[in-house]
Every structure is written in structure tokens, then in C-alpha cells.
Chain A
Amino acid sequence: MNDLTSLSIATAREGLRKKEFSALELTEAYIAAVEKARILNAYIVETPDKARAMAKTSDARLAKGEGGALEGIPLGIKDLYATKGVHTQACSHILDGFKPTYESTVTANLWRDGAVMLGKLNMDEFAMGSSNETSYYGNVINPWRRKNSNAALVPGGSSGGSASAVAAHICAAATATDTGGSIRQPAAFTGTVGIKPTYGRCSRWGIVAFASSLDQAGPIARDVRDAAIMLKSMASVDPKDTTSVDLPVPDYEKAIGKSVKGLRVGIPKEYRADGMSAEIEALWDKGAQWLKEQGAEIVEISLPHTKYALPAYYIVAPAEASSNLARYDGVRYGLRVPGDDIVDMYENTRAAGFGPEVQRRILIGTYVLSAGYYDAYYVRAQKIRTLIKRDFEQAWSKVDVVLTPATPSPAFAPGEISDPVQMYLNDIFTVTVNMAGLPGIAVPAGSSKEGLPLGLQLIGKAFDEETLFRTAAAIEQVAGGYHAPKWW
């Protein structure tokens, strides 16, 4: 029965509708797989009883022919999403014991469509990290290993638990979030598909805030079609989020299989700079070649402010984080460490509750927003964002979609990168997309010489996720799927 976990969402959906197996059987298969994969540390909380109850409800609906778009499909949920009555801590010590009395809009949409929750997934603390090494709950292990090696590798971050769980088939798909690359970089490190939709496409309501002008929810899935199915359910127009944009959600699945003939694909020359590895360059060229062979037109473009996106991000994101994380004060929720007076209590609580990376970013954010520095840092960074956005707007007169590598390297080992700035450079290809608010998708496209998956990124116009799904599917069709050999 365990081969039920090998089915994609699209295939499982058919099997459920044809009554080849029940939602409860599918859920039991995943619950067993989750238990066997605990060494990966992808789940920090398993909710098998809740999953069984939800699966039974799905079976009752399916029996009446009423199933929703994700009826009976077992999912993992990133710990950043508020799930009513269930552990929600952004993998931070400071939110100890927090169980929300409400449900995030995105997860509520998933349950409305019949999905089943298997548990909460590990992540970098407050989504700050690129390797899942900052979680209070410990490192996540990547199901992928280098050829002829048993050494553990990171799954990327911050959605490391989501990517690892999807790659290990211990959920059919997972929710994730992306502030600077936190969906696309882990997807690339694990041979999975991850899409960060346009800012405003998914509601941020009920998702623990990191950097509010950059945060966006999206799925990590095993293939492009499953990612399209997931996003269709996750996206909505939400009156509870003023930045949620009032546009109907298209049926993304319909974009898959459409020809890319005549599509203009931009190759930004600035991405080649700074000693790109030969392996990544070859992957990029190959991806362009595949699209060309299918009738797309390859166009060299220029995005001149690319190199400034990452340093500007490290002003905007910590500044907004320092403001958002001010709410963790030991009074309203989570951890409280006593002190001599109330200020001492705040300071003790925040010193004990936040990990080193989160503290570093709060301090940077507080510094750049402090008196006298606001114009020199935050306002300047927001002006750079205007320039980055303008670069893309100019590119859209020449191309329909942009193709880049997803990451500068394949997955690395825990502890391999200890310098903060070196770690930040992991997001060098993904962060421009957040700064401009655009949608981006990572799709597996090849292997490194050590046998690890490598991903390509496609960047689209605002609210043109359909072109991303269409183009990513065209790449996937040639590249094929990437499956981690099971060792756990």
C-alpha cells in the first residue's frame, strides 16, 4: 500500500474519484511514511489523528461525488502558517506553546478544497535562513546525497522542511513561503518544483510576518502540474489582507501542455557575472536550448541593477523584520523570561527566545531605521527597488518570460557556510523577484557532477503565473523528474 505515496496529486485525484483507493488509505500510507522518515527532521509536529479525521470526511464527500479540488490529498504545512489549535511557532523558541485560535487564509482555502493535514514542517527560524540551520527544532536533512557519500546535506531554506518532505514523498505537496528565495532555493536543492507567485496573489493573513512588503505564500510540489493545482487552491482575494489583489484566480493547470512556440525568453546578461560555476552556466544554456527547440525565441536582455538587489534586500527585510518582531515581548504569547522590571523582562525574553540569526537581523533592522539613518538606508533601498522593478518593466517590451539559474550551487553540507554574507549570497538569483514583486518558479533541470539536482528559475510579469507554468512544464517535459534514492 505504501506505493500510494508515489502518486502525484493529479494521479491520486483520479484514483480517489474512481474509488481505486480511499482517502483514508492514502492518508494512512503517508502517516506510515512520515514515521519512517523521522531522521530527516522535516516534520516538527505530526498530526495523524487530525489527518485521519479529515480523510474520513473526504471519503464521505467523495462517496457523494462532492469532492473539492484537493479532496483527500495529504499535505504538509510550513510552521509559519497559523493552524487553529495546532503548534504554530515559526520554528522559534520565542513562540513556545503558541496554538492559534484562528486559521490562516491560505490553509483555510486548502481545507475548504478537501486537503488533509499531516503536520507542521520545519523551517529556518522566522523564515530567516537559506539552509534550515537556524530552526530551534534542529537541522532538516535533504533526502538527496552526493554520489558515493552518506554525508548529510542541507535542503535549503527557509522552507527546508517543506522541500525535504516533498522530495521524500512524506506529503503529496507542501505550503511554503518566499521572502528572498525561500521557496525556490530549497526546491532547487531537492529536485522539486516551487513557485513564488506575484506579491498579493496569496493572502498573507495568518502567516507569521517576516518582511511584509516581500513575504508571499506559495507551494512546493513534485511536478509543475501539482504546483499549479496547489496554487489554484492557495490563491484568493482576501478582504483580511489589504495587499491581496482583487483579480480572479485562473485555472493554472490549463496552462500546462500549451506550446511555447513564439514565446520570447529573456536571458539577462548580468546574471552571468561574478564567477558563475561552469556547471550552472551549462545548465542555463541547456534550458535555453530546450525552449528554443520547442519554438521559443531566445533574447539577450539587460537587468542592470541586478547586483544591487541583494544588498538592498538586506536593508528592507531586516528593517521590516525588526518592526514585525517587536510584538514578541513575553506578554501576549509564547516565552516569558522574568526580569527585575518590565523592560528587563522584555530584554531577557527576547535574548533567550530569538536565535543568533534572528537577533542579528533585528539589530541590523533597528540600526538602519534608527534616528538619522532612515534616508541613508531604508529610503535608498526602496529607491533601488524602483530601479529593479523598472529594469523588468523595460525587459517586458522585449520578452514574455525570463530564464535564469535558480541557485549558484547545488545543496551544501551543514556547517559548510558560516559567514552570514556568504549565506545570503544563496539568494542572489531569486531575490530580485521579491524586490520587484514578480512571480518566479524553480523547476529541476539537471544534475551536478556529484549527482545532486539543479534548478532553473523562470520569472514572469506580475500576475502572469500561467506563462511560468506553461514554460516550466516545457522544461520539465525534456528534463524529466528527479527522485531522491530512498535511504531512510
Chain B
Amino acid sequence: MSVDQATVRRVAKLARIKVKEENVGRLAGELNSILHWIEQLNEVDVEVIEPMTAVVNVKMKKRADIVTDGNNPHDVVENAPAAEDDYFLVPKVIE
């Protein structure tokens, strides 16, 4: 599989990263060289192999469904670039 410039633009859009038009060609080249190197994995027959989901087979821990944290909205917005009255501020999204 080869990545063309349209794919770079599409993936950058999905990743929400603005890519300058003059860098699209370079990125396509870099992604292709990495993907080309990864293609050696196709040599391995994985038909009957299960994907690994855990390092050690342990039952996932579950905790009691009780509130253990909260009531600190100020802490939550403490590091926001823009906040008002413990709300995040964003550009207008609804007309």
C-alpha cells in the first residue's frame, strides 16, 4: 500500500493537524518509507493466531460503583488556556 498526497491530506485532517501544502510531498515520502519497512510483517502467517490483549492473564479489576473523586471543577479547568466560571471557553460552535 502506498500513501499518495491526497491520503496525507485526508489523514492529517482526521488527525486534526494542519499540514502546509509544501510539506505534503515530504510527509508522503516519510510515511511511505515507514510503511514500506512495516510491510515485512506480511511474511508472517498469522491466520490462526489470536491478537494479544493482555501481558499477563489476569481478570480485569473492577471497583465498587461509588463516587471516589469529584466536586472540584476548578481543578479541572485550572490549566485551560481559556476558562470562565469553571467552564472551558471555546470558539462559537452553534449559530
Interface residues of A (CB under 8 A from B): 97-102, 198-200, 213, 239, 242, 245-246, 305, 307-308, 311-312, 314-315, 322, 326, 329-336, 338-339, 341-348, 350-351, 354, 359-360, 362-364, 366-367, 370, 373, 376-377, 379-387, 389, 419-421, 436-437, 462-463
Given A200-B56, A383-B46, do A333 and B37 touch, yes or no (CB 8 Å)? no
Main secondary structure on B side of the interface with A: loop
Instruction: Kindly report which residue of chain A lies nearest to residue B50, judged by CB atoms.
Output: A386
5 contacts between A and B (CB under 8 A): A199-B55, A213-B55, A308-B41, A336-B81, A387-B44
Q: Which residues in chain B, 57-94, are within 8 Å of chain A measured between CB atoms?
A: 58, 60-61, 63, 72, 75, 78-82, 88, 90-93
Within the assembled complex, what's the spacing in Å between the Cα atoms of A329 and B88? 12
**Total CB contacts across the A-B interface at under 8 A:** 155
B19 to chain A, nearest CB (A): 7
A332 touches B55 (CB 8 A): no
Closest to B3 in A: A367
Partner of A382, one of B7, B52, B60, B80: B52
| A333 x B51 contact (CB < 8 A) | no
Q: Given contacts A312-B41, A315-B38, A366-B11, are A246 and B58 in contact (CB under 8 A)?
A: yes
Beyond A367-B11, A370-B14, 20 additional contacts (C-beta under 8 Å) are: A97-B79, A101-B72, A199-B55, A245-B58, A246-B61, A308-B44, A311-B41, A312-B38, A329-B16, A333-B81, A339-B91, A342-B90, A351-B18, A363-B8, A364-B35, A366-B15, A367-B35, A384-B46, A386-B52, A420-B30
Whether B56 and A385, one on each chain, are in contact in the complex, defined by CB atoms closer than 8 angstroms, is no
Whether A342 lies near B91 (C-beta < 8 A) is: yes
Residues of B within 8 A of A242 (CB): 60-61
Given A364-B34, A367-B7, A420-B30, are A350 and B17 also a contact pair (CB < 8 Å)?
A: yes
Q: Which 6 A-B pairs have the closest CB atoms?
A: A437-B55, A382-B51, A336-B81, A347-B18, A385-B52, A333-B79
Chain A residues near B12 (CB, 8 Å)? 363
Question: Chain B residues with Cβ under 8 A from A331's Cβ?
Answer: 80-81, 88, 90
Task: Give Cα A359 to B30, complex, Å.
Answer: 11
Q: Chain A residues near B30 (CB, 8 Å)?
A: 360, 420
Taking CB atoms, residues of chain B closer than 8 Å to A386 are 49-52
Pick the contact of A245 from B49, B56, B91 — CB < 8 Å?
Answer: B56
